Structure 1
């Protein structure tokens, strides 16, 4: 089960990075 947890964590990290990049692009705010 540990491998699944790690994969989920990586997915969350990726989505967070893209989310913050999107905010920076859209609003010009560095988060």
Structure 2
């Protein structure tokens, strides 16, 4: 989880990670 990355705040993880994951999912074919 985001707890494994203390260098980032949970909110920052949510914004950055969710945005990146959303892009990857939208551009990647469903598995």
Structure number with higher relative contact order (C-alpha < 8 Å, ≥ 6 residues apart): 2
Which structure shows the bigger proportion of residues in helix conformation? 1
Larger radius of gyration: 1
**TM-score (normalised: structure 1):** 0.48
